[in-house]
Amino acid sequence: EKIYLKDYKSPAFTVDSVNLDFNLNEDFCRVVAKSQVRRVHPGEMRLNGEELKLISIKINGQQLNADQYQITEEELIVPSVPDSFTLEIETELQPQNNTSLEGLYKSNGIFCTQCEAQGFRKITYFFDRPDVMTSYSVTIEADKAKYPVLLSNGDRIKIEDLGNGRHKAFWQDPHKKPCYLFALVAGDLGVIRDTFTTMNGRKVNLEVYAAHGKQERCWHAMDSLKKSMKWDEEVFGLEYDLNDYMIVAIDDFNAGAMENKGLNIFNSRLVLADSNSATDVDFHSIESVVAHEYFHNYTGNRVTLRDWFQLSLKEGLTVFRDQEFSADMTDRGVQRIEDVDALRAGQFAEDAGPNAHPVRPESCMAVDNFFTMTIYEKGSEVIRMMQTIVGRKGFRKGMDEYFKRHDGQAVTTEDFAAAISNPNNKDFTQFRRWYNQSGTPVVSVQENFDAAKGEFHVTLEQSCPPTPGQPTKEPFHIPLMMGLLDKSGKELSLSCDKITVNTDGKNLMELKEQKETFVFKGLKERPVLSVLREFSAPVNLRWEASENDLYFLMQNDTDSFNRREMAQKLGLRLFKKMIQQARAKETLKVDDRFITTMTAILADESMDPAFKAKMLQLPSYAVLAQEEAVLDAEAFYQARTTLRKAIAAANRAQLLNIYRKYHGVEPKSREPKVFGHRALKNQALAYLADLHDPEIMEIVNKQYWDAQNMTDRMTAMSILADSDSAHREKALQNFYEEWKNDSVVINKWFTAQATTTSRKQVLEDVKALTKHPAFNITNPNNVYSLLRAFGANLVRFNDPNTNAYEFYADKILEIDPKNPQVAARLCAAFNFVSKLEPAMKEKALTQIKRMVAVESLSKNSRELLQSALT
């Protein structure tokens, strides 16, 4: 039941073109697929197909008899076919009953598709693999009144009125593509339109579709699309290649969005936004996901995957491109901090858990389980390291080479690495281990200053913990960006023959051996080392730097990422002590120096507010769970709340000043600068709220009721939701009444209640909410915003006084038969099992065993759960 990369065989047949004819009805849908097929290798023809009703199969117009083919659960096999022929297959589907949301399905009366990774095989029997690329022409026939909008990939050829209340649209895609990029939409939709003129003066029609009445909330997505198109031209020289670009917002969608050629389909939460309904973070996410899907047009669609094990070829690269785009649209330093926070909280945990896998995996049960943070975010870090090694100019040269070599092809991560390394004369043989070895490498740093010789020695030693199937690892090629500072905080010029300077002028220690020493000469006094600047490699640094050095770097480093990183490091050191005290039932001691430093940061007028907000953030529970050997939810909670309270108590007046300075200023602005102001003042409010001071809760309550944007409203509601304030119920009630009919916004209401940590009865709240009329277990966004958010609530999900695991397993088992992809996404909540204390571990394992014992459990959920048992 496992598939292996090593079993890859090139396709036995190629398809020169395919015509898909859809006849859409309320209770069934007929699909006729007519393909021109040519044989490449001898042997039988095997087509993928699942849950299909075959009506007929014809070869060169001749209908096959039942004894001429064979149908299994997953395939249609024709033992004998000519070398070149026309294949015509008619199938019948029931999109209205398709709850898996892959293939062709219906969402709020709209027909839509999701074919990546293997949904096309639920539409017709086909060679459902990315290395079979072909030309598509599509016709869609449907009721004219119910489905006035009929969309597919490529060029709109014509639309015919059939006279009987039905109409038929003709589409043709001039670019060859694999079937996972096929898309169809039919429905009654609102639309907004704009145009973009490309660098060569071609006019492209842009359209964003959404449910009627919601289209005015699509303008931010439209703006984001235009910015993305411009950016890809300027930074990578890539020009859009069709006359139309369409985005459609759909309410029921398993993932975030999908890059179908010329016809992106989006989860409506990543399209719809205005300041009343969306937070600053939502605006930012929409911009970045619209960009991500647009960038796939080249990295994914023009150059696609040879097989699904290569998924990071397009996803890692496209995440890297969207992160760079966001850095250019907002603040590069702050963007990097956010990207690394997400990587550390999610991907590092994945790498340390039972489902760790390499960026290019070697085996799997369910291909859809590949859509992970390792493939996406770590994959992006691998690309970023390549850019760090060859420099920006070198990277652009490599990208040009990649498209020159592989445009129109289905290729591998090795092809990509070769295209980047070749024009830069770099050897990536060792570097490629980043693709093959899982686990987060550890780099330990030893410093030694020899005053007599004026030499500073930095010894780096790397290792990588064992991961499933990989007990030992070979050394990685790790680029560590670095610098040395003198006592006054000035950057020293470096005299070290092992340092490489990339074309951007950055100093790199390129660690390749297991252990290497870098010697810096000509130093009069001991310098202060700043290492892993910009987080230039996805590693865990073991660096026992002195507290003085850490405080010094926090104030003086020229690299803003590291300034904030040192604040995190200091916070973490303090947390570690406090967690120990909590576990030993001792009084928790807060460190004065840390508090004074936070006070100084708050008072620093010269610090950018968005950056200041990052400096004031304490390490998250997700980070604590990785750093600690035991996941002791109560101890984590004690440590974190005690420190937050101490910071708030020591800085009450300051925090209030910050709040008053920025609150209510330009409440409707969508400038990144104003986002930063709001982030800071809302963070100040959250700190203050930890004081449980009635006066502060009045301010929070007032912010809720007076809010002029969703960022302020949500901040206040989340604080109230996590309090025992008398204002709690009224605010929650009001929010519900206000937004109960808004499928996107109501999810915020679920999340605010599922993520509370002070409130001990969260499990009861969540249980009750699953029975609430607003909660629909077949809607992925509802499930993610309530159940997945609760599963990620480390403090309350792992509360020893409750059995959240049993409830959670019930829900996974309820969702799994309907929608395996969504069920599988919930399974990650059990990734920390090995870190639980014996009694809790027992509880969790009981539930995992119960789920795995269900014979009909999907392979998606099974693959992720059973690994926790070995």
Could you list the active site residues? 293
The distance of closest approach from Cβ of residue 634 to Zn ion in the complex, given in angstroms and rounded to an integer, is 39
Binding at 371: pick from ligand ARG, Zn ion, none (beta carbon under 5-8 Å per type): ligand ARG
- The helices-and-strands tally (H runs, E runs) of the chain is 29, 32
Cβ-contact 43, 100 below 8 angstroms: no
**Per CB under 6 A, 258 contacts ligand ARG:** yes
**Residue 69 or 294 having the CB closest to Zn ion:** 294
| Amino acid found at 389 | I
Question: Which of these ranges, 255-263, 386-394, 420-428, 561-569, lies near ligand ARG under the rule CB under 6 A?
Answer: 255-263
First to last CA, the chain: 18
Minimum Å gap between C-beta 256 and ligand ARG is 6
Between 217 and 227, CB nearer to Zn ion: 227
Applying CB under 6 A, among 20, 255, 271, 481 the residue interacting with ligand ARG is 255
Instruction: Name which of 384, 402, 645 is nearest 533 in CA terms.
Output: 384
Instruction: Name the binder of 254 from Zn ion, ligand ARG, none, CB < 5-8 A by kind.
Output: ligand ARG
Q: How far is the CB of 342 from ligand ARG (least distance, A)?
A: 15
Q: Which does 167 bind (CB under 5 to 8 A by kind): ligand ARG, Zn ion, none?
A: none
**How far apart, in whole angstroms, are the C-alpha atoms of residue 480 and residue 498?**
12
Minimum distance, C-beta of residue 580 to ligand ARG, in the bound complex (Å)? 40
Binding mask 285-324 for Zn ion (x = CB under 5 A): ------------------------------x--x------
Identified binder of ligand ARG from the candidate list 368, 381, 534, 863, rule CB under 6 A: 368
Taking a C-beta distance cutoff of 8 angstroms, is the pair 818, 856 a contact? no
CB of 769 to ligand ARG, least distance (A): 25
Could you say which of 35, 137, 254, 467 contacts ligand ARG (CB under 6 A)? 254
Residue 86 to residue 68: CA distance in whole angstroms: 16
Tell me which stretch binds ligand ARG (CB under 6 A): 256-264, 334-342, 423-431, 847-855: 256-264
CB of 270 or CB of 554, closer to ligand ARG = 270
Q: Is 117 near ligand ARG (CB under 6 A)?
A: yes
Residues paired with residue 38 on neighbouring β-strands, in sequence order: 14, 84
Binding region for ligand ARG (CB under 6 A) out of 16-24, 218-226, 252-260, 603-611: 252-260
Supply the DSSP string of 755-799, one letter for each residue.
S-SS-TTHHHHHHHHHTSTT--TT-HHHHIIIIIHHHT-HHHHT-
Q: Residues 274, 275, 278, 282: is their CA dihedral positive or negative?
A: positive
DSSP 624: H
Nearer to ligand ARG, 246 or 685 (CB): 246
Window 321-360: contact mask with ligand ARG (x via CB under 6 A): ----------------------------------------
Judged by beta carbon, residue 257 or residue 717, the one nearer Zn ion is 257
- Using DSSP's 3-state secondary structure scheme, residue 174 falls into strand
Residue 257 is a binding residue for ligand ARG (CB under 6 A): yes
Smallest gap from Cβ 562 to ligand ARG, in A, equals 30
| Binding window for ligand ARG (CB under 6 A); candidates: 257-265, 395-403, 792-800, 810-818 | 257-265
**What are 344's two structure tokens?**
């550390």
Cβ atoms 492, 530 nearer than 8 A = no
Site stretch for ligand ARG (CB under 6 A), options 15-23, 253-261, 266-274, 610-618 = 253-261
Q: Which residues pair with 84 in a beta bridge?
A: 38
Sheet holding 507-511, edge to edge: 500-501, 507-511, 478-485, 528-531
Burial class (CB in 10 A: 0-12, 13-18, 19+), 33: buried
Taking each helix axis from N to C end, the angle separating 311-329 and 379-406, rounded to the nearest 10 degrees, works out to 110
Residue nearer to ligand ARG on the CB measure, 798 or 821 = 821
Strand partners, 35: 18, 87
At 753, list the tokens: 């209640």
Q: Which does 107 bind (CB under 5 to 8 A by kind): Zn ion, ligand ARG, none?
A: none
Would you count residue 315 as binding ligand ARG (CB under 6 A)?
yes
Report the residue number, 259 or 447, with the smaller CB distance to ligand ARG: 259
Q: Say how far apart CA 475 and CA 432 lie, in whole Å.
A: 11
Minimum separation from the CB atom of position 315 to ligand ARG (A): 6
Q: How many CB atoms lie within 10 A of CB 184?
A: 25
Bridge pairing between strands 53-59 and 62-63: antiparallel
Q: Which two tokens stand for residue 136?
A: 């598509």
Report the nearest approach of ligand ARG to the CB of residue 379 (Å). Answer: 11
* Of 536, 548, 547, residue with least CA distance to 483: 536
Cα atoms in the Cβ-side hemisphere of radius 13 Å centred on 230: 11
Nearest CB to Zn ion, comparing residues 252 and 315: 315
Burial of 426 (0-12, 13-18, 19+ CB in 10 A): middle
The residue from 88, 116, 381, 722 that contacts ligand ARG (CB under 6 A) is: 116
Q: Measured from the CB of residue 376, what is the shortest distance to ligand ARG in angstroms?
A: 7
CB neighbourhood size of 157 (10 A) = 12
* From candidates 251, 293, 338, 712, binder to ligand ARG by CB under 6 A: 293
- For residue 185, the 8-state DSSP code is E
| Two tokens, residue 690 | 């930890």
Angle between helix 311-329 and helix 280-295 axes, rounded to 10 deg: 130
Q: What is the dihedral of CA 115, 117, 123, 129, to 10 degrees?
A: 120
Closer by beta carbon to ligand ARG, 115 or else 829: 115
Q: Please give the residues from 615 up to 654 whose contact with ligand ARG meets the rule CB under 6 A.
A: none
* DSSP alpha helix (H) spans, 478-620: 547-556, 560-583, 592-603, 609-616
Residue choice 141, 173, 252, 259 for contact with ligand ARG (CB under 6 A): 259
Helix/strand/coil for 173: strand
**Beta carbon nearer to Zn ion, 318 or 682:** 318
Secondary structure percentages of the chain, helix, strand, coil, to 5: 45, 20, 35
> Between residues 115 and 390, which has the closer beta carbon with respect to ligand ARG?
115
Three-state DSSP class for residue 118: coil
Query: What is the Cα–Cα distance from 50 to 674, expressed in whole angstroms?
Result: 50
Q: With CB under 6 A as the contact rule, which of the stretches 232-240, 251-259, 278-286, 358-366 interacts with ligand ARG?
A: 251-259
Question: Which CB sits closer to ligand ARG, 266 or 807?
Answer: 266
Closer Cβ to ligand ARG, 258 or 686, answer by number: 258
User: Could you give the angle at the alpha carbon of 684 between the alpha carbons of 679 and 688, nearest 5°?
Assistant: 145
Considering the complex, what minimum distance in angstroms separates the CB of residue 544 from ligand ARG? 39
615: Cα separation from own chain's centroid: 24
CB of 33 to ligand ARG, least distance (A): 22
Single out the residue of 129, 167, 177, 292 in contact with ligand ARG (rule: CB under 6 A).
292
Q: How many of the chain's residues bind Zn ion (CB under 5 A)?
A: 2
The contact mask relative to ligand ARG for 414-453 (x = CB under 6 A, - = no) is: ----------------------------------------
3-state secondary structure of 291: helix
Q: Which does 687 bind (CB under 5 to 8 A by kind): Zn ion, ligand ARG, none?
A: none
Binding partner of residue 381 among Zn ion, ligand ARG, none, CB cut-off 5 to 8 Å per kind: none
- What does the per-residue mask of binding to ligand ARG show for 202-241, with x meaning CB under 6 A? ----------------------------------------
CA atoms of 372 and 347, how far apart (whole Å)? 8
Please report, as ranges, the residues that interact with ligand ARG according to CB under 6 A: 116-117, 254-255, 257-259, 292-293, 315, 368, 371, 821
Please report, as ranges, the residues that interact with Zn ion according to CB under 5 A: 315, 318
